[in-house]
Amino acid sequence: METSNILIVDDNPEIREIIEILLTGEGFQTCQAKDGPTALGLLKEQDFDLIILDIMMPGMNGYQTCLEIRKISNAPILFLSARTKDSDKTLGFSSGGDDYLAKPFSYNELISRVKALIRRYHVYKGKETPTEIPQTFHYHHLIIDEKTEQVTADETALSLTDIEYNMLLLLLKHRGQTFSAERLYEAIWNEPYYYGANNTVTVHIRNLRRKIEADPNKPVLIKTVWGKGYRCD
């Protein structure tokens, strides 16, 4: 597989250097940005397979930067922050982030999260060969093409993050089955469920509904089974 390119965004040069050393030691290519505007400029010039984004930055903070990144890129975003409240994580996911790693973090934990996010992104973008034969799903006004990893609604292409895409695809492949938040989290994030992960799933479901439902407040595509989870009929 080709070498993955990672953008490190942090106002602290020492943290950027430490992360770069860890990642290049694993064979990744890296690029550094000292703030949000610099990161956005780099994203307009080249493609990245992952963005590691600090939250507490002067001027444009991580949440604001994430919102702007999502206008031009669907690359996975890993938030780094010393703020560990569930509300902080929820805000990060609401901004378009894919994962959240609390400072201080261990070398193994960082590398594990990085590899998992890149692996999912490569499969989503077709950079790795999927084990199943690609299919095309027609569901209400949606068409999901596994071969091109494209989702269209009434012939208009939708811009989904890899987590949103994989979540939708999983529910469509198992129509009629109800997936609990725990089951969804472990299937999509490929890691054990933890306290607070329910909020993570809820936020991503909410964001996905905003993109695919005619009325997100009255969803008909992804239904909530109260007390049990979510399903596609």
The residue ranges of every structural domain in the chain are 5-124, 136-231
113: confidence class by pLDDT, cuts 50, 70, 90: confident
Which DSSP letter does residue 179 get?
B
pLDDT class of 129 with cuts at 50, 70, 90: very low
Res 35 pLDDT > 90: yes
- Rounded to 10 deg, the angle between the 62-69 and 36-43 helix axes is 20
- How big, in percent rounded to 5, are the helix, strand and coil portions of the chain? 40, 20, 40
Q: Above 50 in pLDDT, residue 204?
A: yes
Q: Please give the average per-residue pLDDT across 150-160, as a whole number.
A: 88
Query: What would the two tokens of residue 193 be?
Result: 């469920």
5-124: CATH topology is Rossmann fold (3.40.50)
Q: How many CB atoms lie within 10 A of CB 171?
A: 25
3.30.450.40, 3.20.20.70, 1.10.10.10, 3.40.50.10470: which CATH number matches 136-231?
Answer: 1.10.10.10
What letter does residue 185 receive in the DSSP assignment?
H
Q: What is the mean pLDDT of residues 78-106?
A: 80
Helix or strand holding residue 31 (H, E): strand 29-33
Q: Of residues 132 and 65, which shows the higher confidence score?
A: 65
Among 38-47, 153-162, 220-229, the range scoring the smallest mean pLDDT is 153-162
Give residue for tokens 């007390």.
Answer: 227
Give the list of residues 6+ apart from residue 48 with CB closer than 8 angstroms, or none.
Answer: 5, 6, 7, 31, 42, 73, 75
Omega before 58 within 30 of 0, i.e. cis: no
Section 184-195 average pLDDT: 80
Who wins on pLDDT, 191 or 163? Answer: 163
Rounded Cα distance, 229 and 136, in Å: 25
